[in-house]
Amino acid sequence: MILIKLGGSVITDKSAYKRFNKDIVSRLCREIKGSKKEVIIVHGAGSFGHVLAKEFELQKGHMNNGQIDAVAKVSRDVRELNGMIVSELISAGIPSVSVPTGSCFVMDDNELLINDDEVLRGYVRLGIMPVMFGDVVLDRKKGFGICSGDAVMRSLAILFEPEAVVFVSDIDGLYDRDPKVSKDAKLITDVDRDALDRIPPEMTVADVTGGVHAKMRTMLDMCSDGRDCILVNGTVDGRLEELLTGKKVICTRARK
């Protein structure tokens, strides 16, 4: 099984509140179907989550009651996004069901707890893909918090032990410096901890949450013997399908 995260920067337009990239999502779903691989998909929140979450500092937990309305709105907005993604998956021939992170699970001081996996495993056994996503989630210590799709990926990797983990983003991979600023920026195709430590974090392009450097660290944490984690550009037609079917494509591969 391959665990795939569709990043918020690909599935939405980050510059506009709640703008869904329907055509890209539809194509990516067809590419996943075309690959004939068994997958589990997680998605980010993009402009359906980050805009209000940032404005009301939801990631800091419950500080004031002015945040409560924003918790409800973010929750509503990311479910709306999830509904559109599940629709695209079903249209592409991938039976899928929404498993909203914040409705099914809690966090404890920012750590997502999936203590009961009956629902997730039950759907997978039936051949229906559970689709989780970055969400606002109740937190035992902080009242609520923001659980990123990356944190969901970490939990699902422990539960399902996928053979590979793929992060679909809007960039070709990790560069040694910001390619939008520097023409000499080089794509790093293979990265391990030592290689990542040599790249200054501020030199890499910022992604939805924390930047590519932070994402690479998460990816390295998810690597194990025989399991690579790959960052690939989903805005390029066909690239995800080629990667999933074992072709050589432009990407960054994190190895243990």
| Count of residues engaged in binding ligand IP8, rule: CB under 6 A | 17
Taking Cα atoms as reference points, which of 140, 132, 133 lies closest to residue 113? 140
Nearest distance from C-beta of residue 151 to ligand IP8, angstroms: 8
Residue with tokens 């509140």: 17
Packing angle of the helix pair 212-222, 149-160 (nearest 10 deg): 10
149 binds ligand IP8 (CB under 6 A): yes
Count of CB atoms situated within 10 Å of the CB of 150: 22
**Of the ranges 92-100, 114-122, 128-136, 193-201, which one interacts with ligand IP8 (CB under 6 A)?**
128-136
Which one of residues 208, 219, 222, 229 is an interface residue with ligand IP8 (CB under 6 A)?
A: 208
Distance CA 229, CA 223 (A): 6
3-state secondary structure 68-92: HHHHHHHHHHHHHHHHHHHHHHHHC
Binding-site string for ligand IP8 from residue 184 to residue 203, where x marks contact by CB under 6 A and - marks none:
--------------------
Interface with ligand IP8 in residues 51-70 (CB under 6 A):
53
Which one of residues 130, 134, 145, 173 is an interface residue with ligand IP8 (CB under 6 A)?
A: 134
223 binds ligand IP8 (CB under 6 A): no
Taking Cα atoms as reference points, which of 184, 174, 146, 183 lies closest to residue 254? 174
Which one of residues 2, 41, 47, 50 is an interface residue with ligand IP8 (CB under 6 A)?
A: 50
Looking at residue 253, what DSSP letter applies? E
Which residues contact ligand IP8 (rule: CB under 6 A)? Answer: 8, 44-45, 49-50, 53, 74, 78, 134-136, 146, 148-150, 208-209
